[in-house]
């Protein structure tokens, strides 16, 4: 796959803001950097001037339209993308506030996760889904935080994790995994992290109690048992994942996996069958975007308990290259695109 470092430029003199345009599914090379109408906020919304946007594997799947099921979701569209401007996690400054929107003023620095539209100079979001940015982070760093709510909901809600339990984070150095290690530790767990050799020191710095280098040893072997396994990879047999759990243990998958057609449905159906008996539970979940969990993340960050891991900050014209990079599956933490000053 050829990685492009720049997006092509499309002139549209009727548009009002610079944006990444997504007109067809395919590798990120299909994206163009052009112009789109500046969005208009409703009474319950805030208009945000985007300073930085996070780039995740989820964004890559939206761009490629694979697995194909994503085209039937609110993020997709048939036969072509429903939303002209992609992008979700972002941080920026409030430009205007709707008549019924409360808690924000023009100029406030905020962060959140939009359904689409973050790869642009401006995005409109419901005020109820936005939170004030952590004071000790730059906007580039804050754009990496919204995906941490996936780890929070996976551990706290789906995984029902309790203080003192043993947690295994499989895929500990990625966009969600780096947050999962820190959150599990902050919530009182004994954390074992699985990563490659090059990421051992990074994961150790995030507070993992034990680290398994998968190039040297297998977490299924050795007799270790866990109360919660949060899986960001999705490549191991479900029977192996079940095997390493204690009685009453919870397996929490957090990976697309499953191929181009059914995607996560394959693992979901297999998980329900594999965990049908034996007293161990399969805990599939879908991230719920909300401001309350953003506030939880902010409080941990401002207290110095956690920090975002930003592998690289890309320029606006390099969105395609950033998406190709994360789509290759070996990112360290989250990648961020700087949209504006």
Is pLDDT of 15 > 50? no
d(CA 165, CA 212): 18
d(CA 147, CA 280): 27
Confidence band, pLDDT 50/70/90 cuts, at residue 261: low
d(CA 270, CA 141): 37
- What pLDDT was estimated at residue 253? 94
Report the chain's mean pLDDT, rounded to a whole number: 92
Architecture of domain 148-282 in this structure: 3-Layer(aba) Sandwich (3.40)
Is pLDDT of 155 > 50? yes
d(CA 280, CA 274): 10
Shared fold status for 8-144+309-338 and 148-282: no
Q: Which fold has domain 8-144+309-338?
A: Quinone Oxidoreductase; Chain A, domain 1 (3.90.180)
d(CA 320, CA 113): 20
HEC string for 34-63 = EEECCCCCCCCEEEEEEEEEEECHHHHHHH
Burial of 27 (0-12, 13-18, 19+ CB in 10 A): middle
Look up the pTM and report it.
Answer: 0.92
Q: Does 13 or 229 have the greater pLDDT score?
A: 229
For residue 219 the two structure tokens come to 């977490």
Is pLDDT of 257 > 70? no
Domains of the chain by residue range: 8-144+309-338, 148-282
Mean per-residue pLDDT, 183-190: 98
Q: Does 144 or 256 have the greater pLDDT score?
A: 144
Is pLDDT of 233 > 60? yes
End-to-end CA distance of the chain: give it in Å, rounded.
32
Confidence band, pLDDT 50/70/90 cuts, at residue 329: confident
């Amino acid at each position: 796959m050829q990685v492009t470092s720049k997006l092509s430029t499309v002139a549209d003199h009727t548009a009002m803001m610079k944006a990444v345009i997504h007109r067809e599914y395919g590798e990120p090379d299909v994206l163009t950097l052009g112009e789109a109408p500046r969005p208009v906020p409703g009474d319950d919304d805030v208009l945000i001037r985007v300073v930085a946007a996070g780039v995740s594997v989820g964004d890559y799947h939206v761009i490629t339209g694979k697995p194909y099921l994503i085209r039937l979701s609110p993020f997709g569209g048939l036969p072509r993308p429903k939303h002209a401007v992609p992008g979700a996690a972002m941080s920026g400054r409030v430009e205007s506030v709707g008549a019924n929107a409360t808690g924000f003023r023009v100029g406030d620095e905020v962060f959140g996760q939009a359904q689409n539209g973050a790869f642009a100079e401006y995005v409109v979001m419901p005020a109820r889904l936005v939170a004030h940015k952590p004071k000790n982070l730059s906007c580039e760093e804050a754009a990496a935080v919204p995906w941490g709510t996936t780890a929070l909901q996976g551990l706290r809600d789906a995984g029902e994790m309790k203080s003192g339990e043993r947690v295994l984070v499989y895929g500990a150095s990625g966009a969600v995994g780096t947050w999962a290690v820190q959150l599990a530790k902050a919530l009182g767990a004994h954390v074992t992290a699985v990563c490659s050799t090059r990421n051992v020191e990074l994961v150790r710095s995030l507070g993992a109690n034990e680290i398994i280098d998968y190039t040297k040893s297998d977490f299924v072997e050795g007799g270790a048992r866990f109360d919660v396994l949060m899986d960001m990879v999705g490549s191991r047999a479900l029977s192996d994942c079940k095997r390493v759990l204690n009685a009453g243990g919870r397996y929490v998958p957090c990976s697309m996996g499953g191929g181009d057609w059914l995607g996560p449905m394959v693992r979901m159906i297999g998980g329900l069958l594999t965990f049908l008996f034996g007293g161990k539970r399969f805990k599939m979940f879908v991230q719920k975007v909300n401001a309350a969990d953003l506030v939880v993340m902010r409080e941990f960050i401002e207290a110095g308990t956690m920090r975002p891991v930003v592998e690289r900050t890309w320029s606006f014209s390099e969105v395609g290259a950033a998406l190709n990079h994360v789509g290759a599956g070996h990112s360290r933490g989250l990648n961020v695109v700087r949209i504006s000053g």
